[in-house]
Amino acid sequence: MTSKTIIIYTPRANSKRIKIRVPYHMINERNVLKQLNSSFWHPIQRLWSVLNTNENMAYLKRVFNGCVTFINENNQIQISTPLLNNASVAAVNELEKILVIKRYSKNTINVYKKMFTVFIANHQHLDIKTIETKTIENFVQQLITKNNISASYQNQIINAIKAYYEHVLGLPRTFYEIHRPKKEKALPNVLTKTEVIKIINSPKNLKHKAILYTIYSAGLRISELTRLRIIDIHSEDGYIFVKDSKGKKDRKSILSPYLIELLRLYYKQYRPSYWLFEGVTGGQYSVNSIRCIFRKAVEETESNPWATVHTLRHSFATHCIENNVNLRHVQIMLGHSSPKTTELYTKTIEINNKKINSPLDGILNSDIL
């Protein structure tokens, strides 16, 4: 069935873009949208976006009046979290202690503490040690129906609750078998090869350029880039050693000859002492600074405005597959435990007749006829 209306996704308060989905047959409306200075087509998501300003929203409402459906993205209702009593505070502290001992990352610990606090704050009238699975699932159901939490939020709060009962109280996993949401199958955002080369060549500062080159050329996470040491660059053997990546795993990724030359120029100019990329006063380079470098490059090159530093990693994986790199090699370079995670990138490759020949071409070019 063909949609007859344009869909505008009412953005969250902190969103930088307004998402718009225009049905294929609405050619005139699509041409109007193209005239906006900040309009951008996102091929993976199959929608348009413009800068989130009051002027742009008013313009969209005016020109598309009568053929628009609004879908509110800002739909999660604030969850009540009463002050914790002494017993609840002690439970949260116990969870934090065990997660620290198990060497969970700081970010994971903070998320689990926040989520477990939401749960325990709403169950202080009960003995936390005797709460049953049914009570937990009823609470999660309430968050879904009354607070409109996302599937991601639902998973996080389940993980935090299970961490307390399994790691702190030592109960078996089967005891608290909490139902989870069906996995979303959204495709990662990917840049074209042209966009990538424009973005990573955009910085005039040699260190900034070297940072973006390193992230893309090896498919690194931003945290992995900041933890790279000088000794992790193995020029002779052609690989980058990534220590303590996600899940406390070490791995190797490819070291491009072009990156080697760029890093040598960078090293001669900046002379880092231990970390490959160091701040002005020494120590690891700031994650926020890397995000600023990338955001500036995206704006200067007028590339995909939804792209983040992590998009370079997604693009690395997709472009490797497009270049016929063995999927197992891509999995190892990305540090994925399961090949199913890596296989997602097979769905983001660019499909056109410049890259792939239709079987029709083979038949008509053969001697069959």
From the list 246, 252, 295, 296, the catalytic residue is 246
What are 24's two structure tokens?
A: 């294929």
From the list 104, 112, 164, 345, the catalytic residue is 345
- Tell me if residue 221 is catalytic: yes
- Tell me if residue 246 is catalytic: yes
From the list 208, 209, 313, 319, the catalytic residue is 313
- Tell me if residue 173 is catalytic: no
- Tell me if residue 313 is catalytic: yes
Cα distances (Å, whole numbers) of residue 249 to 246, 254, 332, 360: 6, 17, 11, 46
- Tell me if residue 345 is catalytic: yes
Question: Exposure pattern of 50-62 as b/e (b: 16+ CB <10 Å)?
Answer: bbbeeebbebbee
From the list 17, 162, 251, 336, the catalytic residue is 336
From the list 221, 227, 251, 314, the catalytic residue is 221
Catalytic residue list:
221, 246, 310, 313, 336, 345
